[in-house]
Amino acid sequence: MSSELIRAVEQNNVESVKTLLERLTPLEINAKDDDGRTAFMFAAVHGDVDVVRAFLQSDKCTRDDINVKDKEEGATALIFAANNGHVEVVRAFLASDKCTRDDINAKEKDGWTALMFAANNGHVEVVRALLESDKCTRDDMNVKDKKGITALMLAANSGHVEVVRAFLKSTKCTRDIINAKNDNGATALMFAANKGHVEVVRAFLEWDKCTRDMINAKNKEGETALMLAANKGHVEVVRALLESDKCTRDMINAKANKGSTALMFAANNVEIINLLNQGCIMPNHMIFALALL
Helix axes 235-243, 270-278, angle to 10 degrees: 10
Mean pLDDT taken over the chain: 93
Taking only the tens place, the pLDDT of each residue in 211-223 is 999 999 999 999 9
Nearest CA to 79 out of 92, 69, 88, 71 is that of 69
Residue-level pLDDT at 282:
72
Q: Cα(271)–Cα(274) distance, rounded to whole angstroms?
A: 5
Burial 78-101 (b: 16+ CB within 10 A, else e): bbbbbbbbbbbbbbbbbebebbee
What are the backbone angles phi and psi of residue 192, rounded to the nearest 5°? -65, -45
Report pLDDT digits (tens) over 85-102.
Answer: 999 999 999 999 999 999
CA distance 224 to 218: 5
Query: Cβ(117)–Cβ(126) under 8 Å?
Result: no
> How far apart are the C-alpha atoms of 113 and 107, rounded to whole Å?
5
Structure confidence at residue 1 (pLDDT)? 57
284 has pLDDT over 80: no
Distance between CA 9 and CA 32 in Å, rounded?
14
Q: Which CATH class is domain 1-136?
A: mainly alpha
Q: Are the CB atoms for 54 and 18 separated by under 8 Å?
A: yes
- pLDDT of residue 288 exceeding 50: no
| 3-state helix vs strand vs coil in the chain, percent to 5 | 60, 0, 40
**132 pLDDT tier (thresholds 50, 70, 90):** very high
Mapped onto helix, strand or coil, the DSSP state of residue 79 is: helix
pLDDT tens across 42-61, in order? 999 999 999 999 999 999 99
What's the rounded Cα separation, in Å, for the pair 68 and 70?
Answer: 7
* Model pLDDT, residue 100: 93
